[in-house]
Amino acid sequence: MGAVQAEVKVMADGGVEAARRREDDPPLFYEAHVFVCCNRRPDGHRRGSCAAKGSEGLRDYMKARAKELGLRGVRVNMAGCLDRCEFGPSVVIYPEGVWYRIETKSDVDAILAEHLVAGGRVRRLMLTERDVPPPKEAAAG
């Protein structure tokens, strides 16, 4: 069996563009995989944390609502740090790779209805390329 080589495109800003699914890949196990950051940092941390901003309760609500809505093929999971703490609670939905900021149950309902049911996007909640964490401080040598 031959090795499969992933194509990764390095972008001008140093980021990478993810390889796309191939025709011979196995079918997706989930149609959509939703990761809700539930990372908790110590109180007073300069970057804050999604858990301190209520992400755990919002994740629980999202899981329950997705089930109530009968969203088969959608998995809502807790994630560790997604590295967008300043903008959180943060959520990312794959395979699209669309990022959102959620603050309320109403935000969760909008994402479930507009993104996961209707296939659209909730532009007012989206994190974009402008919403990036500050550079990491250089380690003391």
Give residue 86's pLDDT: 85
Residue ranges for the chain with pLDDT beneath 70 = 1-19, 136-141
Token pair in block for residue 133: 């964490």
CA distances from 141 to 55, 106, 131, 135, 138 (A): 35, 46, 29, 17, 9
pLDDT of residue 140: 44
Q: Which amino acid is at 125?
A: L
Report whether 50 contacts 92 (CB < 8 A): no
Q: For tokens 């901003």, name the residue.
A: 53
**Res 17: pLDDT:** 57
Helix, strand, or coil here: 138? coil
